[in-house]
C-alpha cells in the first residue's frame, strides 16, 4: 500500500502540518493483529510514539492495550477507548500523584524500574486501600545496536533494575503487602533492525525466567517491550511483524500459563504519517544549494537529535525531470535544523510542497515551541468528525 498525497487539498492549507493516511494505519494494524494473534501474543501500543486522539481511537478499536509513561498518557488512552485492564505504566520517574491516579484507574500493572519505586507504590496503594500489580523492569544488559540515545539496556543505562539487584527486589516484594508481582518487563531500545538483537534478548530472558522458576515464583506476564525498527528508506514498506514475532515464538520459552506481551510504538504509526511543508526559498551556498522549508526541528526533531534519516520528497507535480541535490533545511536558528544533506530532488521552486516521510512516530509528539513557533497541526486522509 502506498500513501497518495491529495496535493490539491494541501494547496489550500497552511503549512507545516502532519498528514496521516488512516488507511495505511488500518492496514498496519490489521497485519499486526493477525501476526500477533497467531501466537496469542498481547499488544500494548506505546503512546509515546504518537498520542493523537484520532489515531488512538483507531488503534484502541482493534482491541490492543496501551503502554503509557505518564498519567497524562493514561488519561488520554482512557479517553480514546483503551481498556484500563490493558494499560501498563512504565518510566523511571513516576510521581506520587501519577501512581495514585493510575491505581485508582485500575490499570493492568506498573512496570517498576527501581527498588525504591516498589516501596513508594506499596505505600500509596496501602493509603488507598488498593493492591498494585507490578512487573519488574529488568535491565538485561543486551546491546540493541541502535543510536546511543535510544538504546536502553546497556549496563550503565538509567532504565530498569540491574540483574544483580533482582534477588533483593524479590525479597523486598515478599514483605510488601499491597503489591503483587505479576511479571517481568524488558525494553532494550528502539529502531532495532537486526533480528539477532531480539534473539539475544530471548536467550537472556530464558535465563531470567528459569531463575524465577527455580525460586518458585510464578510470573504470569513476560513483557518484552517495543523496539521493532522500520525501513526509513522505503516509507511504503510495512515493518517485519511476521519475522519479529516468529523469533520470539522460536526462541522464547514460556512456562505453562505465561503470556507474552509486546509494546510496539514506532512500527505501528511511523509509516502512516508525513510532515508536509512548503519551500520558502532556494539559495546557493558556496558548495551546495539550500532548499529552505517552513518546517523546522521544532516540528520534527529526529534528524537534529539523532541524525535520523527521513526520506524527503517533492510532491508538487513537475513538468521537467531535472534532478538537483539540495541541503533541505528549516528556518530555526540552529545549524542542526537540517532535514537532509545533498538530497536528490527534482528542480525545486519556492512554493513546492515537500513531504518528509515516516514521520508518524516520534514526530508530532516531540514538537516544541522553540523560537515561539506554532505547534504543527494534523490533517487526515478522511473525514474524522
Ligand atoms: N516500551 C518502552 C518501555 C519504551 O521506552 C519504548 C520507547 C517503547 C516501548 C516503544 O518503542 P518502539 O516500538 O517505538 O521502538 N524518540 C526516539 C525513540 C524513543 C523510544 C523511547 N522508548 C526516536 O525518535 O527514535
Instruction: Give the residue, by CA position, lying nearest to ligand 1 atom 9.
Output: 226
Which amino acid residue places its CA nearest to atom 23 of ligand 1?
A: 362
CA gap 224, 247 in Å, rounded = 12
Query: How many angstroms separate the CA atoms of 67 and 264, rounded?
Result: 9
Q: How far is the CA of 355 from the centre of ligand 1 (A)?
A: 23
The residue ranges of DSSP E strands in 124-203, in sequence order, are: 132-139, 161-162, 179-185
Domain ranges of the chain: 22-268, 271-383
Do 134 and 118 contact (CB within 8 A), yes or no? yes
Question: What's the number of CA atoms in the CB half-sphere (13 Å) around residue 100?
Answer: 9
Distance CA 253, CA 222 (A): 10
Rounded (10°) angle between helices 53-60 and 71-79:
60
Give first-to-last CA distance, the chain, whole Å: 25
* CA of residue 146 to ligand 1 center, whole Å: 12
Q: Which of the following CATH numbers is that of domain 22-268: 3.30.420.40, 3.30.70.1230, 3.20.20.10, 3.30.2290.10?
A: 3.20.20.10
DSSP assignment of 91-142 equals -S---HHHHHHHHHHT-SEEEE-SHHHHHHHHHHHHHHT--EEEEEEEE---
Contacts of 153 (CB under 8 A, 6+ apart): 139, 140, 141, 142, 143, 144, 159, 160, 186, 187, 188, 189
Over its length of 385 residues, how does the chain's per-residue pLDDT go in tens digits?
Answer: 899 999 999 999 999 999 999 999 999 999 999 999 999 999 999 999 999 999 999 999 999 999 999 999 999 999 999 999 999 999 999 999 999 999 999 999 999 999 999 999 999 999 999 999 999 999 988 877 777 776 666 667 888 999 999 999 999 999 999 999 999 999 999 999 999 999 999 999 999 999 999 999 999 999 999 999 999 999 999 999 999 999 999 999 999 999 999 999 999 999 999 999 999 999 999 999 999 999 999 999 999 999 999 999 999 998 888 999 999 999 999 999 999 999 999 999 999 999 999 999 999 999 999 999 999 999 999 998 7
User: Which residues have CB under 6 Å of ligand 1?
Assistant: 46, 48-49, 67, 90, 150, 187, 190-191, 225-228, 263-267, 302, 306, 362
Cell of 374: 506554532
What CATH superfamily is the domain 271-383?
Lyase, Ornithine Decarboxylase; Chain A, domain 1 (2.40.37.10)
Helices (H), 273-370: 302-306
Q: Which atom of ligand 1 is the closest one to the Cα of 190?
A: 15
**pTM above 0.75?**
yes
Distances (CA, A) of 379 to 17, 81, 275, 358: 7, 21, 10, 15
Amino acid at each position: 500500500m502506498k500513501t497518495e498525497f491529495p496535493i490539491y487539498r494541501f494547496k489550500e492549507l497552511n503549512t507545516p502540518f502532519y498528514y496521516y493516511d488512516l488507511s495505511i494505519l488500518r492496514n498496519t494494524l490489521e497485519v499486526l493483529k493477525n501476526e500477533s494473534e497467531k501466537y496469542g501474543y498481547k499488544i500494548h501500543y506505546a503512546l509515546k510514539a504518537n498520542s493523537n486522539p484520532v489515531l488512538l481511537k483507531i488503534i484502541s478499536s482493534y482491541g490492543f492495550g496501551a503502554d503509557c509513561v505518564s498519567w497524562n498518557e493514561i488519561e488520554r488512552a482512557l479517553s480514546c477507548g483503551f481498556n484500563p485492564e490493558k494499560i501498563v505504566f512504565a518510566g523511571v520517574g513516576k510521581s506520587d500523584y501519577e501512581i495514585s491516579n493510575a491505581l485508582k484507574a485500575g490499570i493492568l500493572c506498573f512496570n517498576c524500574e527501581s527498588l525504591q519505586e516498589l516501596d513508594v507504590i506499596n505505600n500509596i496503594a496501602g493509603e488507598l486501600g488498593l493492591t498494585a500489580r507490578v512487573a519488574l523492569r529488568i535491565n538485561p544488559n543486551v546491546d540493541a545496536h541502535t543510536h546511543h540515545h535510544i538504546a536502553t539496556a546497556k549496563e550503565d543505562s538509567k532504565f530498569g533494575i540491574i540483574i544483580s539487584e533482582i534477588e533483593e527486589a524479590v525479597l523486598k516484594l515478599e514483605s510488601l503487602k499491597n503489591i503483587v508481582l505479576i511479571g517481568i518487563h524488558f525494553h532494550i531500545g528502539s529502531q532495532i533492525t537486526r533480528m539477532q538483537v531480539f534473539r539475544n534478548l530471548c536467550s537472556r530472558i530464558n535465563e531470567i525466567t528459569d531463575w524465577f522458576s527455580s525460586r518458585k515464583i510464578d510470573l504470569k506476564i513476560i513483557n518484552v517491550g517495543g523496539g521493532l525498527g522500520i525501513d526509513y528508506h522505503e516509507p511504503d514498506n510495512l515493518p517485519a511483524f511476521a519475522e519479529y514475532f516468529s523469533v520470539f515464538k522460536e526462541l522464547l520459552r514460556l512456562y505453562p500459563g505465561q503470556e507474552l506481551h509486546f509494546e510496539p510504538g514506532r512500527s505501528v504509526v511511523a509509516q502512516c504519517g508525513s510532515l508536509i511543508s512548503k519551500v520558502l526559498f532556494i539559495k546557493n551556498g558556496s558548495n551546495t544549494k539550500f532548499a529552505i522549508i517552513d518546517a523546522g526541528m521544532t516540528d520534527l526533531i529526529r534528524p537534529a537529535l539523532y541524525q535520523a534519516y527521513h526520506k524527503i520528497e517533492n510532491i508538487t507535480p513537475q513538468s521537467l525531470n531535472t534532478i538537483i541535490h539540495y541541503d533541505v533545511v528549516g528556518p530555526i536558528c540552529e545549524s542542526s535544523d537540517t532535514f537532509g544533506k545533498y538530497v536528490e530532488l527534482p528542480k525545486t521552486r519556492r512554493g513546492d510542497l515537500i513531504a518528509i516521510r515516516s514521520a508518524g512516530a516520534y514526530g508530532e509528539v516531540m514538537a516544541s515551541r522553540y523560537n515561539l513557533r506554532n505547534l504543527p497541526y494534523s490533517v487526515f486522509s478522511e473525514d474524522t468528525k
